[in-house]
């Protein structure tokens, strides 16, 4: 059991279960470790983080991960002890282990920590995450990657704008428009992983359909996030890769089974073996050892 309940600290209720999922296949950086809430050796970090969160809106600390001089902290908020866990909200923080400085990274519902991603070859892997913006609604799914920022000495999320990350899936299509979406985190030949998204809007007879194909990656020179709307040629190549999803990270792709992908991917024909004899054979070939 990983989390630490604020109500438990106050003596009201016992520890509640985590409200997000975590499934990882790749290895975390050697400099990163998740805190175990029970051993005495980690209690100083737990107390430090709890004091840093004083005055914030939370009812449970779900995870604490430490790298160098910062802690990646995930808290959840439940309106009351009787409320359903399905309606918990989460917040991701960075807490300085030097001075307790608190930095807000993201918040939402239904957090899914997916895998440790190699976004920049030669650098440490980063923790991929998906989350929704609301419960019981036409939710938008967002993607980000959590990493330690060496320059700022804090944890941060990738591609964050206005407190939100990259929207990869939405159930809220414009009125009268049929929306089809495909996304995947895919690996290049050198192992470097990037996010690709394809949003197709069909307006019926009102006007031609529109495509928006994006690539999200990290500039290897500056370690700064990039987002690029792709032109026709690059967009066609990205659509092909997204729909095939041959190098996609498990848990970080969706939409490949939709008709848009089925009609967009070019078939690849396997070369058939040649079974006809050469033109000058004249039926004269004999098996080895046959009598003349």
Could you give the CA distance from residue 128 to residue 144 in angstroms, rounded to a whole number?
A: 6
pLDDT at 276: 62
pLDDT at 15: 36
Could you give the CA distance from residue 269 to residue 282 in angstroms, rounded to a whole number?
A: 31
For the chain, the C-alpha Rg in angstroms (whole number) is 26
pLDDT in tens, 175-222: 889 999 999 999 998 999 999 999 999 998 889 999 999 999 999 889
Residues 6+ apart with CB under 8 A from 162: none
pLDDT at 20: 61
pTM of the model: 0.84
3-state SS, one letter per residue, for 125-162: CEEEEEEECCCCCCCEEEEEEEEEECCCCEEEECCCEC
pLDDT at 17: 37
- HSE on the CB side for 68, CA within 13 Å? 13
pLDDT at 251: 93
- HSE on the CB side for 260, CA within 13 Å? 22
Could you give the CA distance from residue 135 to residue 133 in angstroms, rounded to a whole number?
A: 7
Could you give the CA distance from residue 30 to residue 17 in angstroms, rounded to a whole number?
A: 28
pLDDT at 262: 84
The residues spanned by each domain of the chain are 1-163, 173-266
- HSE on the CB side for 26, CA within 13 Å? 19
CB contact at 8 A, 211 and 200: yes
Residue keyed to tokens 């430090």 = 48
Q: Which parts of the chain sit beneath pLDDT 70?
A: 1-24, 266-292
pLDDT at 288: 55
CB contact at 8 A, 127 and 143: no
């Amino acid at each position: 059991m990983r989390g630490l309940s604020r109500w438990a600290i106050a003596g009201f209720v016992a520890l509640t279960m985590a409200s997000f999922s975590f499934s990882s296949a790749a290895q975390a950086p050697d400099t990163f470790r998740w805190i175990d809430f029970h051993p005495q050796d980690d209690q100083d970090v737990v107390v430090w983080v709890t004091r840093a969160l004083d005055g914030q809106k939370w009812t449970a600390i779900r995870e604490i991960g430490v790298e160098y001089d910062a802690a990646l902290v995930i808290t959840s908020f439940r309106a009351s002890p009787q409320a359903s866990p399905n309606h918990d909200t989460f917040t991701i923080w960075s807490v300085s282990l030097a001075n307790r400085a608190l930095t807000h990274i993201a918040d939402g519902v239904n957090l899914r920590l997916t895998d440790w991603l190699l976004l920049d070859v030669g650098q440490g892997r980063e923790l991929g995450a998906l989350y929704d913006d609301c419960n019981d609604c036409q939710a938008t799914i967002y993607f980000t990657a959590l990493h330690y920022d060496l320059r700022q000495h804090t944890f941060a999320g990738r591609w964050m704008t206005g407190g939100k990350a990259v929207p990869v899936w939405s159930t809220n299509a414009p009125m009268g428009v049929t929306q089809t979406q495909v996304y995947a985190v895919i690996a290049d030949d050198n192992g470097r992983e990037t996010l690709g998204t394809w949003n197709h809007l069909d307006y019926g007879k009102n006007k031609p359909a529109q495509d928006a194909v994006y690539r999200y990656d990290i500039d290897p020179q500056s370690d700064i996030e990039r987002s690029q709307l792709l032109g026709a040629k690059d967009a066609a190549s990205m659509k092909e890769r997204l729909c095939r999803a041959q190098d996609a990270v498990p848990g970080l792709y969706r939409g490949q089974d939709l008709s848009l992908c089925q009609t967009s991917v070019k078939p690849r024909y396997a070369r058939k073996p040649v079974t006809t004899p050469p033109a000058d054979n004249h039926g004269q070939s004999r098996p080895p050892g046959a009598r003349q």
